[in-house]
Amino acid sequence: MNRILISLLALILSQHVSAQKDYFLYLQSEGGQPFFIRMNDQTYSSTSNGYLILSRMRDSSYTFRLGWPGKPDEQPYFTVRVAAKDRGLLIKNFAGEGWGLFDLQSLEVLKSHPAPETNSSVRLEPRQVSNFTDVLAKAANDPSLRMKEVKVEKPTAEEEIKTEEKEGSEERRAGAGKSGRREKSCDSC
């Protein structure tokens, strides 16, 4: 009876562990030239031979920017889906079509896409913290524990035009008031 119970418990635990599996993403440049990727404000550099392995990838989609040292204006964006399997990708420049990622397992090509548009950014501001958090921030030498993220909305192009028009009309009114005299309208001029 104990063997059955232990076997059942081991089976249940193994199912839970397998559900949280991490995957890896292997990237290789075709010519063996070094490259880097920028993902979530972190930069990952390849080896000098052009290989990079990203580990601990979850079952999700990842968008990153690909770049090469010394070529700042050539940085295409890619979105790669890690769907319950490890991925191996070859970075290749397709003549006339631009950069792409050639999947070494499925033999499909992932094309680059324009930079994702964001209307908001985040800035850090100080916040009130408990004594425990303050001690932890000092012990870990991590001042970000005392900060909070505040989302800053960037104005859309339409809002920027309205703001510029408003500022321009205020400047015209201020300029007319500085002369100290009122201008007369001349209908016959």
Average pLDDT over the chain reads 77
Q: Give the total number of structural domains in the chain.
A: 2
Asked, for residue 188, whether it belongs to a domain, the answer is no
Q: Confidence class of residue 166 from pLDDT cuts 50, 70 and 90?
A: low
Q: Phi/psi of residue 80, each to 5°?
A: -120, 130
DSSP state of 35: -
- In the chain, the percentage of residues whose pLDDT exceeds 90 is 20
pLDDT value at position 59?
84
Q: Tell me which residue range forms the domain holding 143.
A: 117-174
List of E strands, the chain: 23-29, 36-39, 42-45, 51-57, 60-67, 77-82, 87-94, 98-103, 109-111, 120-126, 147-153
DSSP state of 18: H
The dihedral through the CA atoms of 40, 79, 88, 23 has a sign that is: positive
User: Mean pLDDT throughout 137-153?
Assistant: 72
Q: At residue 177, does pLDDT exceed 80?
A: no
**20-74 pLDDT, tens per residue?**
588 999 999 988 889 999 888 888 999 999 999 999 888 888 889 998 888 877 7
Rounded to whole angstroms, what are the CA distances from 24 to 40, 49, 65, 82, 99?
17, 19, 18, 8, 22
Q: Between 187 and 59, where is the model more confident?
A: 59
The reply to whether 28 and 91 lie within a common domain is yes
pLDDT value at position 68?
87
The identity of residue 153, as a single letter, is E
Asked, for residue 186, whether it belongs to a domain, the answer is no
The identity of residue 57, as a single letter, is M
Helices of type H across the chain: 2-19, 131-139, 157-178
Q: At residue 112, does pLDDT exceed 90?
A: no
**80-108 pLDDT, tens per residue?**
988 888 999 999 988 888 889 999 999 99
Q: Confidence class of residue 137 from pLDDT cuts 50, 70 and 90?
A: confident
Q: What is the CATH number of the domain that holds 60?
A: 2.60.40.10
The reply to whether 29 and 98 lie within a common domain is yes
Asked, for residue 92, whether it belongs to a domain, the answer is yes
User: Mean pLDDT throughout 122-132?
Assistant: 79
Q: Between 44 and 121, where is the model more confident?
A: 44
Asked, for residue 182, whether it belongs to a domain, the answer is no
Query: Residues 129, 146: contact at Cβ < 8 Å?
Result: yes
